[in-house]
Amino acid sequence: MMKRLSDKGDNKDCPLPDRVSGIGQSQAASSQQPREILLVDDNPDVARAIEIAFRIAGHRLHGAAGAEEAHSLLARRRFDAVILDLNFSQGRSDGSEGLACLARIMADDPAACVVVLTAHGGIRTAVAAMQSGARDFAVKPWSNADLIAKVEAAIARRPASAARPSGSPPEAEREPVPRLLGESAPMIALRDLVRRVGPTAAGVAITGPSGSGRTLAGLAIHAASAHARERPLRIDLRDRAAWDQLAGASGSVILRHPDRLGEVEQEQLLAALPDSARTITICDSTGPVMPALMRRIAVVEIAMPPLAARGEDPVLLARHFLRRAAERFGRAEPVLGAAAVAAIRSAVWTDEVRGLALAMERALLLTDGEAIDAALLCAARPSSPTTAATAAEPGKRAYDLERTEKAMIESALREHGHNISHAARALGLSRAALYRRMERHGL
C-alpha cells in the first residue's frame, strides 16, 4: 500500500469511476506483467484513487508528494514508469513545478518513462511536457482504465537503451540510475557538466574531498556515455595485481588514486591503458599526475564541491538518507526536528556526505519516536562534526563550534516555544547548562 493516503471526501481531481465485474475486478484490470510505478502528486485523495486502480490491475505504486521526495526515490530504485502531476503545491496551476521535475528526470535518465497528469485547460502544458520527453498525458478527471492503458503502452514503447547492462543479472534491471542530489548552485553546475561531458569519449578526472560523492559522479558520467549498458570496470591503482584487468579493456574504466603513484608507475600506467578504454579517474588532486598521463586521463577535470559549500543541500541529503535507512531497516521514517535541521545546516561533517549518511542511519536506529532532535543527532555520531576543521586552523574550528552551538540553541528554543526545560532536554543539557550557554551567546 502506498504511504500518505488519507480518508478525505470526494475530490474533483479524482478519476471517473470504472465499472466493476461480478468477481470484484475493475474492468481496468490488466494482463500485463506487474510493474513498479512512481506517482508524484501531493493530493492524497488522487493518490489513493490511483493506487487502488493500479493495485487491482496488478501493479505496485510508490508515492512522492513533491520533487524532492521523487528525486530521492529515483536515486534509490528504478521504476518502470513515473506518473507526474504537473502541479504539486497548493495554489499552483501553471505546470512549472512539474515541467522542472520532468526536465530533471529526463536529464538524469533519457530513457525514463513519464506520463503526466494535467487539469482541464492544461493541454498546452501537456504538449510542452511531451516535447520535453514525456511519453503521454492524461487529463483530470481521468478514467482509471484509460490511465492504466496509457502507462502500460508507454512502458511497452521503452527503447532498447533502457534495458539492463549487458552481461548483468536480471536484478540489475532494478538498479537505480546514478543521480547527483542537491539544489545548490554548485550541484546544479556539476550536473550540467556531467551531462555535457558524459556522452563524449574524453578522459575525466574527478577531484575533491573523500566522501563527497566522487564515485557517484563517475558513475553518472558513465551512465551518460555510449557505454551505459555495460558495467564499468573499476580498478584501484594501489593494487598492482588489479592492473591486469586493463589488458584489452573497453568501455568505461574507473581508475582510483593515480595521484598516489610514483613517476615510473604513472609511465607504466600510461603504456597499459588501451585506446578502446574511456577513463574516469577518482583522485584527491591532479597536481601529482605527470603531464603525459594528464592528457590521457584528465582532458576534463571536475571538482566535487565539499558539503559545506552546498547551501541547504545537507538538509535535503539528510532527509534522503533517513528515507533510505528507514527502507533498509524496515523502520518508520522519522522527521527532522528544527534543532536537528539547524545542527545539520551548520555543521562541518567529518567524511563529508558519507559521514552525514552514517549519522542519519545511526540516528534512525537510536530514535524511539517520530522525530529526530539535535541531542539524538549528536549522540548518533562518534564526535562533533566540527572536528573536520584541521588542526592548522584553530581559529576557524572555534568559530564553527560557536556558530553551530548557537544555531542549535536558537532552533531548540524556537521549536519548544522558549520553554527552557523542554529545550534543554532536547539538547541533552541541564537547565543550568543551557542558561550558561544562552548567556555566553547573548540569547
Question: Which secondary-structure segment (H or E) carries 205?
Answer: strand 204-207
What confidence score (pLDDT) does residue 9 get? Answer: 42
User: Does position 282 have pLDDT exceeding 80, yes or no?
Assistant: yes
Q: Where are the alpha helices (DSSP H) in 157-249?
A: 185-197, 214-223
- For residue 83, list its beta bridge partners: 39, 115
pLDDT digits (tens, 9 = 90+) for 24-46: 344 445 556 899 999 999 888 88
Global pTM value? 0.79
374, 340 contact by CB (below 8 A): yes
3-state DSSP assignment of residue 233: strand
3-state DSSP assignment of residue 198: coil
Q: How far apart are CA 307 and CA 349, in angstroms?
A: 8
Joined grid coordinates for residue 388: 573536520
CA-based Rg of the chain, rounded to a whole angstrom?
25
φ and ψ at 162, to 5 degrees?
-85, -5
User: Does position 363 have pLDDT exceeding 80, yes or no?
Assistant: yes
Question: Please, what is the average pLDDT of the chain?
Answer: 83
| Sign of the Cα pseudo-torsion (34, 36, 40, 41, in order) | positive
What confidence score (pLDDT) does residue 33 get? Answer: 85
pLDDT band at 19 (very low <50, low <70, confident <90, very high): very low
- 3-state SS of the chain: helix, strand, coil percent to 5? 50, 15, 40
* Structural domains present in the chain: 36-162 (3.40.50.2300), 185-305 (3.40.50.300), 309-440 (no CATH)
What confidence score (pLDDT) does residue 378 get? Answer: 64
pLDDT digits (tens, 9 = 90+) for 385-415: 444 333 334 444 333 455 666 777 777 777 7
Q: How far apart are CA 204 and CA 208, in angstroms?
A: 13
